[in-house]
């Protein structure tokens, strides 16, 4: 699969375009210098920690840069959806472990047996799925390497 990813150091939240209708929440990224709009938002994940949570459910502990980007996306979506009776509810991309004091995202991986912690390198695709009137983040990884 060929794709472009957004370099975290040049990411600008003002370039995010959010489109909604009754069953879709779509994020695009507009690059004005090149006059193009990316239909998917993909980030590189390098040397982050993958933690086994339960069968097929894992957490990626976010570094500060990716946390800030994903948190800004969450805030922009929440601002758009707040106060709108016609738009659906939304579950945040970023989660916080108060017990261990870290920010993380959930990912679901089928047919993989990982115990404990691993270092992950991958690309992360951010999408959303409407389930029973609520938009849930769906985070897909590509070219995943575990160490």
What pLDDT, on the 0 to 100 scale, is given for residue 85? 65
> How do strand 134-146 and strand 89-90 relate by DSSP bridges?
parallel
pLDDT one digit per residue (tens) for the chain, 147 residues:
446 678 888 899 999 999 877 677 889 999 888 888 888 889 999 999 998 877 667 899 999 999 999 999 999 998 888 766 656 688 999 999 998 899 999 987 777 777 778 999 999 999 898 888 888 998 888 888 988
Task: Tell me how far apart the alpha carbons of residues 20 and 87 are, in angstroms, rounded to a whole number.
Answer: 8
Token pair for 91 = 């579950």
Q: What's the CA gap between 53 and 28, in Å, rounded? A: 30
d(CA 89, CA 79) in angstroms, rounded, equals 12
Q: CA nearest 126: which of 14, 18, 12?
A: 18
Distance, CA of 59 to CA of 108 (rounded, Å) = 9
**Predicted local distance difference test score (pLDDT) of residue 5:** 74
pLDDT at 14: 94
Label residue 31 exposed, middle or buried (CB < 10 Å: 0-12, 13-18, 19+).
Answer: middle
Q: What is the pTM of this model?
A: 0.88
**pLDDT at position 24, please?**
79
pLDDT at residue 3, rounded to an integer: 61
């Amino acid at each position: 699969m060929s794709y472009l990813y957004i370099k975290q150091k040049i990411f600008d939240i003002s370039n995010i375009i959010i489109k909604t209708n009754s069953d879709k929440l779509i994020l695009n990224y507009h690059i004005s210098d090149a006059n193009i709009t990316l239909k998917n938002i993909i980030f590189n994940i390098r040397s982050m920690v993958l933690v086994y949570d339960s069968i097929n459910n894992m957490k990626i502990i976010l570094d500060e840069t990716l946390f800030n980007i994903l948190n800004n996306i969450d805030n922009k979506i929440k601002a758009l959806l707040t106060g709108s009776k016609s738009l659906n509810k939304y579950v945040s991309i970023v989660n916080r472990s108060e017990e261990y004091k870290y920010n993380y995202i959930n990912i679901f991986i089928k047919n993989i047996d990982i115990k404990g912690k691993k270092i992950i390198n991958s690309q992360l695709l951010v999408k959303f799925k409407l389930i029973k009137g609520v938009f849930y983040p769906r985070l897909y990884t590509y070219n995943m390497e575990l160490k």
